[in-house]
Amino acid sequence: MNRRAFLRNSLSTTAVLLPVAGLPQQGASAPAAAALASRQSWLELLLRVARPVLEAAADGKLQQLMPVEAAPGHEADRHTVTHLEAVGRTLAGIAPWLEHGETSVDEGRELSRSRDLAIESIARGVAKGTPAYLNFGAQRQTIVDAGFLSLALVRAPQQLLSGLPSEARSNLADALRATRGLAPPFNNWLLFCAIIEAALLKLDQPWDRMRVDYALREHASWFLGDGVYGDGPHFHADYYNSYVIHPFLLALLDAVGSSDPAWAKMTEAIRARATRYAALQERMVAPDGSFPVVGRSITYRCGAFHLLADAALRHLLPAALPPEQVRCALGAVIGRTLGAGNTFDAAGWLRIGLAGHQPSLGETYISTGSLYLCTGAFLPLGLPASDPFWTGPSRPWTSQRAWTGEDAAADHAQDE
């Protein structure tokens, strides 16, 4: 897969998802080849985003090679944590593909190479006392990105955890425990603490059930209705229900839900709420692939649709929402946010922005490594190429139909 082929395929797929004139064609008139090309383009773009991080981290040179773009005056502070951000978030997004992606022909070769890079990145990043160590526990921010790394481990236990040498597994457990002395704020961060404990369980290490129980019970009390949780006791108009809350709740119950009958009883409601929020997210995608620029952390780009991607991966979409329609909506968002000019620097690293380079959108806690949460939009690559998500004919998403006068189903709130 060379860059010329990547650009050719990306432009071909963009023509299907974001046509210059008219909407994607429905039914049999949309060739199956277009949908399959979409998977290839998704993978090539994911690798374009992830490879600089994984190659540098696997070589033990992430701290040397990755630039640290941050708000003026915060570069030194962010330099302590941004490399863990890059590794944890990249792996969380790529993990379903590593675990379940196609293992034959070109995709299989890319998967094998990416898996090896991921394992080596973890091994080097948890080796305390080396220049490549990722500073677990150095600042409170490392709770978040030890959490994203733990999410990756939960999502790909066979390809990531099982492949780690015994010394690296021991170092990884120590690194995750290094965050326990840091107190999280009373909001979605409770889920990072909980998923770290779930990862320790997967590592066959002692784990703290109380941190898991606390996160699950508090989020249950913060549910506001219609698929929406408060970020803490209050509602925030942002994308944190998708960036963190729904995906982490789902992954947490995957990992430990069977460990406690009370947790198992939460599963049905948590999954139903995620399905409802996925329906809302699909309706947020405008006809041109844009979406409302509201709330903090907007520079996570297409990562704002982490939950919609996760629901597609899990087959948790509403029955009335065809997976191929979600493919087109997500593909449009990915193209709109990662295909804009100046998104990448000359060396291939992400730059702060939503659609291009827009440094003023970056809050004081945003730096280069933070941006790799955008990989969360690519989770459906964990579905086989034969899944209807990939093979179904291209379909206009809800706002495309509605804003061109096509009849579309009404939306209704769901309290539980």
CATH for 300 = 1.50.10
With contact defined as beta carbons under 8 Å apart, do 154 and 202 qualify? yes
With contact defined as beta carbons under 8 Å apart, do 300 and 49 qualify? no
Q: Which residue has the tokens 């590592």?
A: 203
Exposure string (b/e) for 90-101, b if CB count within 10 Å is 16 or more? bbbbbbbbbbbb
Is residue 68 a part of any domain in this protein? yes
Is residue 382 a part of any domain in this protein? yes
Does pTM surpass 0.75?
yes
The whole-number pLDDT of residue 250 equals: 98
Is residue 1 a part of any domain in this protein? no
Is residue 206 a part of any domain in this protein? yes
Is residue 103 a part of any domain in this protein? yes
Is residue 9 a part of any domain in this protein? no
The pLDDT tens digits for 187-201 are 999 999 999 999 999
The whole-number pLDDT of residue 29 equals: 30
With contact defined as beta carbons under 8 Å apart, do 137 and 182 qualify? yes
Q: Whole domain around residue 238: which residue ranges? A: 41-402
Quote the crossing angle between the two packed helices 246-256 and 209-221, to the nearest 10°.
Answer: 140
Low-confidence ranges of the chain (pLDDT < 70): 1-37, 416
Is residue 30 a part of any domain in this protein? no
The whole-number pLDDT of residue 27 equals: 33
Q: How many CB atoms lie within 10 A of CB 316?
A: 18
**Number of structural domains the chain divides into:** 1
Is residue 21 a part of any domain in this protein? no
